[in-house]
């Protein structure tokens, strides 16, 4: 059995950054479902949280898991579940794009706290501000929005 710790901080938004997840109760249901469903698929989510138009997950990848497969399983299934539960007034979709950055062992607690405090964080900063900050901090090249 291999011993692996590869943490990835995932961030993705709702389609067109629409605030589908407009209240804390809906958000908590979605985050709980993502965590519970991921456990069934052997995806270890250390922490999941977000705001009305996006989600953050801190995931420890398993030896046979890829970034794209984990995102496909989490985003695809959760969108299906949200629509099946009729949690929103309209058809729910996640945006295709996502951020995925490695997290060193020394930064796990910092990233976990950042994810944990999304509700407070977004009283001061919009998703667009956070998006720009993520692009700059991690040196991503900004692409045109395909949504």
CATH of the domain at 11: 3.30.70.1290
Model pLDDT, residue 140 = 72
Encoding tokens for residue 81? 């579940």
Q: Give the pLDDT band (50/70/90) at residue 2.
A: confident
Split at pLDDT 50, 70, 90, the class of 144 is low
Start-to-end C-alpha separation, the chain? 41
pLDDT at 8 over 80: yes
Give yes or no for residue 127 having a pLDDT over 70. Answer: no
pLDDT tens readout for residues 89-118: 999 999 999 999 999 999 999 999 999 988
Q: Is the pLDDT of residue 146 over 60?
A: no
Mean pLDDT taken over the chain: 90
The pTM of the full predicted model, rounded to 2 decimals, is 0.84
Which residues form the domain of 29?
7-138
**Domain for residue 113, yes or no?**
yes
Residue 130 forms part of a structural domain: yes
Write down the pLDDT at residue 132. Answer: 73
* Residue 53 pLDDT exceeds 90: yes
Residue 144 lies in a domain: no
User: How many domains does the structure of the chain reveal?
Assistant: 1
């Amino acid at each position: 059995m291999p011993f692996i710790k590869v943490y990835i901080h995932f961030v993705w938004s709702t389609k067109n950054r629409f605030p589908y997840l407009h209240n804390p109760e809906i958000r908590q249901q979605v985050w709980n479902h993502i965590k519970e469903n991921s456990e069934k698929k052997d995806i270890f989510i250390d922490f999941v949280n977000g705001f009305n138009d996006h989600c953050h997950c801190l995931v420890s990848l398993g030896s046979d898991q890829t970034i794209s497969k984990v995102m496909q399983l989490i985003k695809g299934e959760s969108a299906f579940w949200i629509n099946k539960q009729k949690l929103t007034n309209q058809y729910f979709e996640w945006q295709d794009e996502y951020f995925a950055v490695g997290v060193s062992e020394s930064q796990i607690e910092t990233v976990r706290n950042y994810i944990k405090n999304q509700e407070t964080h977004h009283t001061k900063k919009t998703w667009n501000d956070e998006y720009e900050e993520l692009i700059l901090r991690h040196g991503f090249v900004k692409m045109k929005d395909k949504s």
